[in-house]
Amino acid sequence: MDPLQIGFGSAQAGMLGADIVVRPVLWINFIFTSANSSDWKIGEIEMRWSLAVMVLFAICIVVNMTPAAAKDTLAQNYSEHSWVFVNGYMDESRILQTQLGFNGQKMVLSTRGSGIATRTIDSQVYSDSSMDEASLTISADYDYKPYTPPLTQSDLKNALCAKNYQVGSVYSETYYIDKDLIKDTTIYQNDSMSIYQISSEIQGTAKIGQRVQKNANTVPSFTMSGTYMGYAKIISETLVGNTSVLTLPCP
């Protein structure tokens, strides 16, 4: 009796303008020397199993060669303008960076101590396919004077936290009010940008925190924390997102 031959043909799948071609890889010959129907049934079962295995093999090849979606690894853009006057104690820090590890631009600024301080900071990170930059400008006047905080904090407290998951920005402020607090905070968020505008005057303790990180594949382009005790006046504007420079807050 003639051999029964099963052939596996070729398949094409178009991906990203290229064709993946799976060539014939296997021919299976079933030779039956008996006219017994049970032999034909066994051969038919083996043939179906062989076809199923070959089809599964072809699918696995196509799936494994499918490219993963491109990851966005550019740091999130932001711009900050901040002015602070403190008569008491001040502890604040900033970290700016554009890439992971020992790559890109890195800047760290930290201030800690008691006395009278007046300082202005302008900082920004900008990243796109052809540019990767960070800048920081600080103008400050520090006069040392010992400060003794009150033994207990006031029970009167004011707190706010805002998050924009689409842009990757977080802003928080907490005030422990020993005597009084005058504040004017404006927050605007949408799917493309966040704007945080803060104007606060307090006798007590103020804690401010900000973080900008586009997604899990990027570094935090901006991390800031500040604690101000005694008398403090804080004015700050931060813009986060890939927007035109015409929308940047005024210095």
The verdict on 125 and 184 lying in the same domain is: yes
The verdict on 163 and 223 lying in the same domain is: yes
Q: Is residue 152 part of a domain?
A: yes
Q: Is residue 248 part of a domain?
A: no
Closest to 198 measured CA to CA, from 38, 56, 84, 31: 84
CA distance 171 to 193: 13
Q: Is residue 59 part of a domain?
A: yes
Q: Is residue 73 part of a domain?
A: no
CA distance 76 to 97: 10
The verdict on 30 and 109 lying in the same domain is: no
**pLDDT tens per residue, range 65-93:** 545 456 788 899 999 999 999 999 999 99
**pLDDT tens per residue, range 5-36:** 444 344 444 434 444 444 444 444 444 444 55
Q: pLDDT: is 191 or 67 the higher one?
A: 191
Closest to 9 measured CA to CA, from 21, 24, 28: 24
DSSP three-state, residue 122: strand
Through-space distance between the first and last CA atoms of the chain, rounded to whole angstroms: 92
Q: E-strand spans in the chain?
A: 4-7, 11-15, 18-22, 27-30, 78-97, 106-127, 132-144, 157-164, 169-189, 193-212, 222-241
The domain of 48 spans 4-64
The verdict on 47 and 97 lying in the same domain is: no
Q: How many domains does the chain have?
A: 2
CA distance 107 to 42: 73
Q: Is residue 138 part of a domain?
A: yes
